[in-house]
Structures are given as structure tokens and as C-alpha cells.
Homo-oligomer: A and B are copies of this chain.
Amino acid sequence: MTVEEKDGAIVGLIATLEHASNAQARFEIMYSTLRDRISMLVYHPGMRLSEEALAAEFGVSRSPLRKALKILEADGLLRSAHGVGTIVTDVDIDKLGQVYQLRMELNELVGKLMPRTPDRDVQSLFETMRRRAEDLQREPSLDGFARLNIDFFHAFQSLTENEPLKEVSEKLFYQTCRIWLTLVPADNLANEVAVFCSEVIGIVNAVRIGDIKAAALLRRAHLSMGYTRLQDYARTGV
């Protein structure tokens, strides 16, 4: 699904870009690659990115790269400062509270607005998520946690057919998902992973019997509890 799953890493990325047919395809690759790196904290908050370096890596000039950066800026993930650089935005637990409130409501809407009866493909997708959750629980890792969090979000998105809702939810998700990587303390990772995996498995079970509404309510509940735990981490961490 994501671009990262390539063999030769950076080399493979440029190769992919070279063969990208049109401008839109090249943009999508650059955009999702950068967004993924920001979300996975490869580019950590406060880090300065160089347009020239990124353009060189992608094998293009600054012009098309800047388009991707501008959209990421509109998404709230980057911030450009003239004469300084392109800076990865900070994630502030307090400001993110508003986003979390909204995300909770939106997740409930997944069950209300055009819920989609899961077909065979969706079911197998969620079964894959269950398997990955079980694997992760056996061998917890921060990266695996973050990756499954992202992929499970996209799987959950397929439960509604309301396109605007999906777009809006996606934008808000990427504004918040980094917070876990910055706040969860290493000594509590296994516990946090276990909670998350039980959430995944619970929702997979709801999807299996076709109860999208229940899946949405479960997700909303877990989102709420997750935010509470994040606040605790932020308090004790400081």
C-alpha cells in the first residue's frame, strides 16, 4: 500500500518516480512518501528539511517537489519559513485535544453515513489486520505499533463510502498519529501495544459479523480512552 515497501529503499524510490507516467502520479509518490516519513518520525518535529536535498533524492527539481511540500503545509504537517527552511510541525497534546474531539465524532459517523457492507476483500483485509495485531503483540515494537496504527486506520476507512468523510478523517488522523510515537514511554510500550491490539481484534470481530455501527462505536470509545492515556503520559512525562 505505502511507497516504502520497496526493495532498494531510496534507489527504488527514484526508479518508481522515473517510471511514473504523469505529474499527478509523481506528486502522489512524493506526497505520501513525505507524509509517511513525518508520521513515522523519520522526520521528527522541529526537524529542518531541505528542498534541494529532497528534490535531489526524488530525482526532480524543486518546482514539483514544492507542490508536495505546500500541500503538506496545508495539512498542518510542515511549516515553511523564508530564509530558514521547511520545518516539521510540533505536536502539542493540548491543541490536539480539539482534533481528537472531532475525530471521535467523525468515527461515529462512519457507522451512520453510508456504512458499507464488508465484502470478501474488506473481510480479508481485516483478517490481515488481526494477524498483524497478534504478531505485534507477541513481539512489540514502536515502529510496528505506528505502522499498524496507520494501516488499520486505512482499513477502517474502507467501512464507509462517504468520500468527503474519508478525506476529512484522513487529514485529521495524520495530524494526530505522531503523538503516540512521541509520548508513549518505552517501559510501557508492551502494555500500550496490548491495549491497541485488543482494540484491533475487537473491531475485527465486529466487522466479521457485519456490524459496522458497533465497529464505529468501539473505535470511538477506544479513541476516547487513548486520548485520556495520552494526557496521562504527557502529564507524567513532563
Q: Which residues of B contact A171 (CB under 8 A)?
A: 168
Q: Judge whether B98 and A162 touch: CB under 8 Å.
A: yes
Complex CA distance for A71 and B172, rounded to whole angstroms: 17
Chain A interface residues toward B at CB < 8 A? 22-23, 66-67, 70-71, 74, 82, 98-99, 101-102, 105, 109, 112-114, 162-165, 168, 171-172, 175
Q: Judge whether B71 and A165 touch: CB under 8 Å.
A: no
Q: Judge whether B74 and A163 touch: CB under 8 Å.
A: no
A78 vs chain B, min Cβ distance (A): 13
Q: Judge whether B165 and A168 touch: CB under 8 Å.
A: no
Closest partner residue, chain B, to A27 (CB atom): B70
Q: Judge whether A109 and B105 touch: CB under 8 Å.
A: yes
The residue among A82, A98, A163 with the most chain B CB atoms within 10 A of its own CB is A98
The residue among A66, A112, A165 with the most chain B CB atoms within 10 A of its own CB is A165
A51 vs chain B, min Cβ distance (A): 13
Q: Which residues of B contact A98 (CB under 8 A)?
A: 113-114, 162-165
Complex CA distance for A113 and B104, rounded to whole angstroms: 11
Q: Which residues of B contact A71 (CB under 8 A)?
A: 70-71, 74
Q: Which residues of B contact A162 (CB under 8 A)?
A: 98, 101-102
A102 and B70 in contact (CB under 8 A), knowing A23-B82, A82-B23? no
Q: Judge whether B113 and A165 touch: CB under 8 Å.
A: no
Q: A101-B114, A105-B109 are in contact. List 18 more A-B contacts (CB 8 A).
A: A23-B82, A66-B67, A67-B70, A71-B74, A98-B113, A98-B163, A98-B165, A99-B164, A101-B162, A102-B109, A102-B162, A102-B165, A102-B168, A164-B172, A164-B175, A168-B168, A168-B171, A168-B172
Q: Which residues of B contact A82 (CB under 8 A)?
A: 22-23
Q: Judge whether A102 and B164 touch: CB under 8 Å.
A: yes
Q: Which residues of B contact A23 (CB under 8 A)?
A: 82
